[in-house]
Amino acid sequence: MCGIFAYLNYNVTRERRYILEVLFNGLRRLEYRGYDSAGISIDSSNQTSDPPLVFRQEGNIESLVKSVYHDVAATDLNLEESFSVHAGISHTRWATHGEPAPKNSHPQSSGVGNDFLVVHNGIITNYEVLKETLLRHGFTFESETDTEVIPKLAKFIFDKANEEGDQSVTFSQVVLEVIRHLEGAYALTFKSRHYPNELIACKRGSPLLLGVKDLEEKASSGSSFSDVKFPSSNGQPKELFLSSDANALVEHTKKVLVIEDGEVVHIKDGGVSIYKFDKGKNGGTLSRPASVQRALSILEMEVEQINKGKYEHYMQKEIHEQPESLTTTMRGRLIRAGSCKAKTVLLGGLKDHLKTIRRSRRIVFVGCGTSYNAALAARSIVEELSGIPVTMEIASDLVDRQGPIYREDTAVFVSQSGETADTLLALEYALENGALCVGITNTVGSAIARHTHCGVHINAGCEIGVASTKAYTSQIVVMAMLALAIGADTLSNQARREAIIDGLFYLPRKVKAVLKLDEEMKDLAKLLIAEQSLLVFGRGYNYASALEGALKVKEVALMHSEGILAGEMKHGPLALVDENLPIVVIATRDSCFSKQQSVIQQLHARKGRLIVMCTEGDKASVSVGGSSRVIEVPQVVDCLQPVINVVPLQLLAYHLTVLRGYNVDQPRNLAKSVTTQ
C-alpha cells in the first residue's frame, strides 16, 4: 500500500515538463498500491532562495495531474525551464492515518519553507510520542498523519546541529538520526532545500528499489556501488529512480538495487552511498557509519508485462493470461518424458531441504486473504502425499495469539508480493522459534524470499490488478508441486503422483478451455447485477474455491458474498435460503460429489435460487427438475480442480464489477500490497 516514486537527473538536461511527466507516469505505474490521494514535489526556479514546490490532491493520479497543471497555469511557472540536475519526489496514498485530503497527502513537510519533505509507505507506531515532543519544541502540525513527525524531526535535528555550530552536518547524518527515533515499518524518501539535488531513501519492512540508468554505457564498474561515486567520478550523465515496485522502473532501466532493511541510500552528485543503520549503535550523536557495497540486479521483466494490451482492465488481462502464467510456473520444474520413471518435479529452491521437510512433525501454511485460500486448496494433497499433518494459519491470528511453532515444524509462508506485513511478522516469529521457513512468492528479491531458509518463486508474471487472479492459480500449482516433491520418496503413492503430473501437464489447455465461458459468465452477471448478497458452497478441495470466489466478488463488485463449507450448511447457513438469494454450489466430480448432490437437493427443497458448477456432462445429475442454472467446466485430477473452478468465479466477479460501474482494478478501500498492519 502507498507508492513512492522519485526521479533525479544528473548532468543530463531535462525540462520541468519532462520531470513532471516522469513523476506522473511513475505514480500511474504504482497506483494499484493506493489511489485515494497523491502528491509531488519539484524544485522552484531558484533553489537557493525559494522553497521546493509541493502539489497535493485528493483522488486518483489524474486528479493530481489536472490540479498541478491548473496551478502551473495560474502561477505562470515555466514548464520549459531546464535543469541539468534536479531531484523530484512523488507519492500515491492508501490512507491509514487521516482521511483522504490534500493536507494528509504526501509529501509531508517540516513546515513553512519546506525545509524537509518526506514521502512514506508504512506506519510509524511511536508517532504520538514524537509528536508530543515536537509540539513542546514549538512545532505545529497541519495533518492527521503519522508521517508528519518525520520531516519535522529532521528539521529539529538539523536546526539543533547548526545551533551547536555543526555547519557541516550532512543529509545522511540528519536522516540517520531521524530513523534512530522511528519505530514501526516504513519506506522513506527525503528531499531538502538545505541539500539541493540530493535524495535519501531508507526502509524497514516496506519495499523500496533504486533504479540506475547510465546514459553513457561505458564503465564496466557499473556493477556495484562505492562510497565515493556511482559508477564513477567522471560526471557521467545518468538518471536515478526510487520506486516501491519494479513496475515503475522497467520502462526506464532494468538495473536495480533492492534496498535492504536498515540501509540508508544517499544520492548526491551522481554518486550513491549506502550506509547500514544499526539502531543499537551511535546513540545520541550525528555519526556516519561505514558505507557498504552492493551489487546491482537485472530485472527479468518487460514493459509489455505492465501494459493492458488488448484488454480494458488489468484484472481482465490477468484472468485471461492464466494459461500462460501456469505454463511459466511449471516450466523447467515439471519433468514428464515417455517413461514412468521420468515423471517427476524439480524444485531447485527446495532440493537441499526436502529431507528436513520430510522429517517435520507438521507443516504449517501461513498466509492472508487469497494466499491463505491458495494454501487451503493445496492442504489436502500435501497431507496425502507427504503423510505429514498440515495446519492452516492466518498470519495476523498466529502473531496475535503467539500460537505454538516448534523447531520440528516446517512453516510455509505464502504471499504474492512477498512483502505482506502480517506474513512477515509471522515469519519473524517462526524464525525466532527455530522452524524451517519456506517462502512461496511471486516477487524475486522480496522480503519473504530473502528471509526464509528456502522457497519457490511462482513465476506468474507481473500482477497489477488489486484482486489477485493468476497469482492464486499459480500458487496452487506450486504447492501441488511441493506436495509431489515431498512425497517423491514414497513408492505407495507413485501412481497418484504420476496422475497429478499428467494433470499438471494438461492444466493450461484446460484453463484455456474454461475461459471460453467468459460470455456465459457475463450473462450470469447481468442477472445478478442488482443483488445484495451471494453465497458460495464448496467442500473438500473446493472449499477454498468457495472462499476465493466469494472473496473476489466481495473485493471488486462490492457485493456481500460468503464462501461456506457445504458440510456446515445445516448449522446456520440454511436459515438464509429462500427463492431470492442466489447460491453458487460447486459440485464437480471428486470424492465429495455425492455429498454435494445431497446439498443441491436440500437447497432445492427450500426453493433455493441455485447456480451449480459441475463437470462437463453432469448437468442432468445436478439440476433438480431443470430449475438450476448450470455452469459446466472441464474435469481434471481432483487436487487441481480448484484451479479450473475458480476461473468462472473470477470472470463473474469481473463482469459484475464492470456492469455495476465500479473500478475493477482499484476497488474501494483496498490496495494491492498490504505492507502495514
What residues are labeled active site?
A: 2
Apex CA 399: angle with CA 393 and CA 403, to 5°? 65
569 vs 585: CA distance, rounded Å: 11
584 vs 302: CA distance, rounded Å: 39
Question: Left if phi > 0, otherwise alpha if psi is -120 to 50, otherwise beta: which for 282?
Answer: left
The cell numbers describing 621, all together, are 445429475
**Radius of gyration (C-alpha) of the chain in whole angstroms:** 27
Count of CB atoms situated within 10 Å of the CB of 389: 12
Cell numbers 447485477: residue: 529
List Cα–Cα distances, 94 to 23, 38, 55, in angstroms: 18, 9, 17
* Cβ partners under 8 Å of residue 641, min gap 6: 541, 542, 588, 590, 635
Number of H helices, E strands in the chain: 19, 26
- Residue 267 β-bridge partners: 199, 272
Give the containing element (helix H, strand E) for 356: helix 354-358
- Residue 90 β-bridge partners: 5, 40
79 vs 17: CA distance, rounded Å: 5
- Compute the 3-state secondary structure of the chain and give helix, strand, coil in percent, each to the nearest 5: 40, 25, 35
246 vs 3: CA distance, rounded Å: 11
